């Protein structure tokens, strides 16, 4: 990693975007495996990844507009295209096809590992949570959904209803995140589901990438599951800390969890959620405008939202290695 930092310091870039595109080229975030079936990729995943970073960074609304942006024969546009690693322009349908199958969850996890390995974040405690994202367009009421009737056009038929204590019922999707706590709060892993999926169903996909790095995982009552306690302890060599109550028939193992949660140490670990993962969701929504999704369909919205998480990671990391005193000031970089 230190070799990579020295190499990156030699790159002269005229904008944040071009500098970050060069940074992606230096980081070993994903490697395409030899496909046993089908035609091999003409454009490597890392090249397509940089193209979609451009889309997120410049708030380009669609892959068609991204294709048009690269077609513009202007010096800066051509520099951005070169920084993406493109020597010729892919077909617009290539952007559509690759955007849907982008392995962005693996890339986010790899980027999170870089933060942990380089000691940029505190490894004592990580926090996990989810946040509902509203689907764009009209809602699909449950009565019509059961009858498989679309009363109006423009409904995102992949979206589902989910409930939040703070927002009530929301028709859309759910972003799941694990993040660091302490001085630097940054996403470490992420997942994306429809809004009706319970939080504990995505817990394993969030903590497996950070297994062996963190000592504790702080979570809200939605993750109070005996299977998750065992999984965190055995597979991840960590401790899951979330609100837990004692009842008359509570088994001894659960009583020990209750005692630790109510202890001074347990309360200190759990309190990190309020200043880490909860504000992080609002920062992501405000920075990238994903509180209400601008695209429809599970695959498209998943790639868009998770790409936003990845761009946030990149911007924070860029600020860290370039000596910025406020690495989480991402909005100014995007011009928002």
Instruction: State residue 38's pLDDT score.
Output: 62
Q: What is the pLDDT of residues 69-102, one digit of tens each?
A: 999 999 999 999 999 999 899 999 999 999 988 9
Torsion, Cα 299 172 62 28, to 10 degrees, reads -50
The DSSP bridge pattern shows strands 168-181 and 122-134 to be antiparallel
Q: Return d(Cα 50, Cα 20) in angstroms, integer.
A: 9
- The CATH 3.30.420 domain(s) of the chain lie at 106-283
Contact 112, 188 (CB under 8 A): yes
Q: What is the largest CA-CA distance in the chain?
A: 73
Q: How far apart are CA 166 and CA 113, in angstroms?
A: 32
C-alpha 316/C-alpha 319 separation (Å) is 5
Is the CB of residue 69 less than 8 Å from the CB of residue 54? yes
Roughly how many angstroms between the first and final C-alpha of the chain, as a whole number?
Answer: 31
Q: Return the pLDDT at 157.
A: 94
Please give the CATH number for the structural domain made up of 106-283.
3.30.420
User: What's the CA angle centered on 153, arms 297 and 191, to 5 degrees?
Assistant: 15
What pLDDT is recorded for position 9?
54
Assess whether pLDDT exceeds 50 at residue 303.
yes
Say what the pTM is: 0.93
The answer on pLDDT for 115 being more than 50 is yes
For residue 262, give Cα distances in angstroms to 136, 242, 246: 42, 10, 11
**Quick one: pLDDT band at residue 252, thresholds 50, 70, 90?**
confident
Range 146-150 average pLDDT: 90
């Amino acid at each position: 990693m230190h070799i990579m930092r020295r190499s990156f310091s030699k790159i002269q870039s005229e904008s944040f975007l071009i500098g970050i595109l060069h940074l992606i080229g230096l980081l070993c975030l994903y490697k395409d495996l030899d496909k046993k079936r089908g035609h091999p990729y003409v454009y490597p995943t890392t090249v397509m990844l940089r193209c979609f970073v451009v889309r997120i960074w410049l708030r380009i609304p669609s892959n068609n507009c991204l294709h048009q942006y690269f077609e513009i024969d202007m010096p800066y546009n051509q520099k951005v295209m070169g920084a993406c690693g493109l020597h010729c322009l892919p077909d617009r349908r290539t952007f559509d096809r690759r955007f849907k199958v982008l392995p962005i969850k693996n890339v986010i996890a790899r980027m999170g590992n870089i933060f942990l390995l380089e000691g940029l974040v505190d490894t004592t405690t990580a926090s996990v949570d989810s946040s509902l994202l509203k689907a764009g367009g009209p809602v699909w009421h449950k009565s019509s959904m059961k009858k498989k009737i679309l009363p109006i056009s423009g409904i995102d038929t992949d979206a589902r209803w989910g409930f939040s204590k703070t927002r009530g019922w929301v028709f859309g999707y759910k972003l799941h995140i694990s993040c660091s706590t302490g001085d630097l709060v940054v996403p470490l892993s992420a997942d994306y589901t429809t809004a009706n999926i319970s939080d504990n169903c995505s817990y394993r996909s969030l903590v497996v990438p950070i297994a062996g790095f963190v000592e504790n995982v702080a979570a809200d009552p939605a993750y109070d599951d005996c299977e998750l306690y065992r999984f965190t302890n055995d597979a991840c060599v960590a401790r899951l800390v979330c609100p837990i109550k004692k009842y008359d028939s509570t088994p001894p193992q659960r009583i020990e969890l209750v005692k630790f949660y109510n202890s001074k140490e347990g309360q200190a670990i759990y309190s990190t959620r309020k200043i880490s993962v909860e504000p992080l969701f609002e920062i992501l929504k405000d920075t990238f405008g994903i509180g209400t999704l601008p695209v429809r369909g599970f695959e498209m919205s998943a790639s868009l939202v998770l790409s936003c998480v990845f761009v946030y990671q990149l911007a924070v990391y860029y600020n860290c290695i370039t000596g910025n005193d406020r690495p989480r000031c991402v909005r100014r970089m995007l011009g928002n």
